[in-house]
Amino acid sequence: MMDVGVVTRSFRELSNQETAEMITKNGFKWTELCFSQTDSNYWVYNGRSDLADLTDERSTEIVETYRRQGVTVTAIGVFTNLLEPNDTELEHNLAYFERLIQIASINQVPYVSTECGFMPGRRGVQAETYESAFQRLVDSFKWLAAKAEEYNVHVVLEPCVLDVVPSAKRAADFINQVGSDRVRVLLDPANLIANSSEDDMFGYLTPHIAYFHGKDRKVNDAYGRAVGDGDINWRRFLELYHKHTEGVPFILEYVNAGNFCAIRDRVLAMDGGVRSNSALD
Q: What is each CA distance from 180 to 74, 93, 101, 223, in whole angstroms?
A: 20, 21, 16, 31
Residues 52 and 50: their CA atoms lie apart, in Å, by: 6
Domain ranges, ordered by start, for the chain: 5-280
pLDDT (0 to 100) of residue 281? 55
CB 208 within 8 A of CB 200: no
Per-residue pLDDT of the chain (281 residues; tens, 9 = 90+): 899 999 999 999 999 999 999 999 999 999 999 999 999 999 999 999 999 999 999 999 999 999 999 999 999 999 999 999 999 999 999 999 999 999 999 999 999 999 999 999 999 999 999 999 999 999 999 999 999 999 999 999 999 999 999 999 999 999 999 999 999 999 999 999 999 999 999 999 999 999 999 999 999 999 999 999 999 999 999 999 999 999 999 999 999 999 999 999 999 999 998 877 765 45
Beta-carbon neighbour count of residue 164 at 10 Å? 25
Q: Is 228 left (phi over 0), alpha (psi -120 to 50) or beta?
A: left
CB 85 within 8 A of CB 44: no
Order of strands across the sheet with 5-6?
5-6, 250-252, 209-214, 183-187, 154-157, 111-114, 72-77, 30-33
DSSP string spanning the chain?
A: ----EE-GGGGTTS-HHHHHHHHHHTT--EEEE-SEETTEE---TTS----TT--HHHHHHHHHHHHHTT-EEEEEE----S--SSHHHHHHHHHHHHHHHHHHHHTT--EEEE-----TT--S--GGGHHHHHHHHHHHHHHHHHHHHHHT-EEEE---TTSSS-SHHHHHHHHHHHT-TTEEEEE-HHHHTTTS-HHHHHHHHGGGEEEEEE-B--TT-SS-B-TTSSS--HHHHHHHHHHH-TT--EEE-S--TTTHHHHHHHHHHHHHHHHHHHHH-
Q: pTM of the prediction?
A: 0.96
Residues 268 and 270: their CA atoms lie apart, in Å, by: 5
Topology annotation, domain 5-280:
TIM Barrel (3.20.20)
